[in-house]
Amino acid sequence: MTNSKLILLEGVPGSGKTTAGINLQGFLDSNNIPSRFWREGDFDHPADFEGIAHMSEAQFEDLLVRHPELVELIQDQTSVRGTDYLLKYRKLQHLHPQAIPQTLINELSLLDVYDGLPMDEYCRLALDRWQDFCNVMKDSEEVTLMECVYLQNPLTVLLARHDVDPQFAHQHIERLTDIIHDLNPLVIYLHPRDVTAALQHVRAERPQEWADFVIWYLTGQEYGRSHHLKGYEGVIQFYEMRQKFEVKILRSLPVQQLVIEHSGNAWERCEKEIVDFIRPLLLR
C-alpha cells in the first residue's frame, strides 16, 4: 500500500521533468508499486487539456449536422460532463489524418480549452477535470505521475494569455490543491539555477516550430504585450518570472514538496534527492 497516489513534476522547460519522471517510474517499478506516468501532451491525459475543444450541446449538435460523414469519429473522441462537450480534436486529427479536413481543425482550435475560452470558463473546466480525476483515483492502488499540469499549464494560461492579477492565479492553484488533497500529492520542483542556460539547451533540442510558438505565446499575448517582451529574450524573461512565482506559491501551499536546485549537470544527485524524498512517503 502507498500513502501518496499522485506525484507532480514541475519546473520550467529544460529543467528535467521528463527525465525525473522516467527515472521515478523506474524506481516505483523496482519496488513493485504500480504507476502511470502521464507526460505533457498525452492525448488521453486525465488532467491536461492539450488539443481539446470545448462546446455546448448546441455547438456540438451543429458540428455533427455540418459533418455527417464524421459523426462516428467525432463522437468517439468526445466526452460529456453535464452541459460541457469536450472533443479531443488533435487526437482525432492524429488518428484520421486523411479524413479530417484542416478547416475543421482550425475551427475547433478556436474553441481550445487553453487558448480559446474566457478565463473564468477555463478555470471552471480545469477544476472540474481535476475533481473527476480524483474521484476515479481515490480507490486506486496506482501511483500517478504527471508533469506540467499542476503549476506550469494553469499559470501559463492565466499569466501569459490573460495577464491576471497574481493573487487570482495563486488562488486558482490553492483551489486545485484542495481538490487533490485526498490523494496526498507530492510535488517535485526542478529548479535550474540558470534559467537562460536551461532554455537555450531545450531550444537547441526542439524544432524551430517550438521556439516560434513559445515566442508568440509568451510575448504576443496579454502579459508579453503589457511587459514589452520581445523575441526569445522575452521568453527567458517570462520563465524567470514564472519560476520565482511558482516557487513562492509552492512554499505557501499545504502540500508535501521538494525543490531541487541544480545546474543541469548533477543528475545523480538530483535522482538521489528525489528517491530519498519519496521513499518514506510512498513506502509506509
Query: pLDDT tens, 20-45?
Result: 999 999 999 999 999 999 999 899 99
- Residue type at 140? S
First to last CA, the chain: 7
Question: How many CA within 13 A on the CB side of residue 276?
Answer: 9
The yes-or-no verdict on residue 229 having pLDDT over 60 is yes
- Residue type at 263? S
Cβ atoms 20, 274 nearer than 8 A? yes
Residue predicted with more confidence, 284 or 48 = 48
User: What are the phi and psi torsion angles at 232 (to 5°)?
Assistant: -70, -25
CA distance 200 to 179: 35
Handedness of CA 125, 14, 210, 42 (dihedral sign): negative
In this prediction, residues 170-188 reach a mean pLDDT of 97
Query: pLDDT tens, 106-164?
Result: 999 999 999 999 999 999 999 999 999 999 998 898 999 999 999 999 999 999 999 99
The yes-or-no verdict on residue 284 having pLDDT over 70 is no
Cβ atoms 91, 78 nearer than 8 A? no
* Cell, residue 276: 530519498
* Cell, residue 74: 467525432
The segment(s) of the chain belonging to CATH 3.40.50.300 are 6-47+119-282
CA distance 235 to 251: 24
Query: pLDDT tens, 44-100?
Result: 999 999 999 999 999 999 999 999 999 999 999 999 999 999 999 999 999 999 999
- Rounded percentage of the chain residues whose pLDDT exceeds 70: 99
pLDDT at 1: 41
CA distance 132 to 136: 6
What one-character DSSP code corresponds to residue 146? E
What is the fold of 6-47+119-282? Rossmann fold (3.40.50)
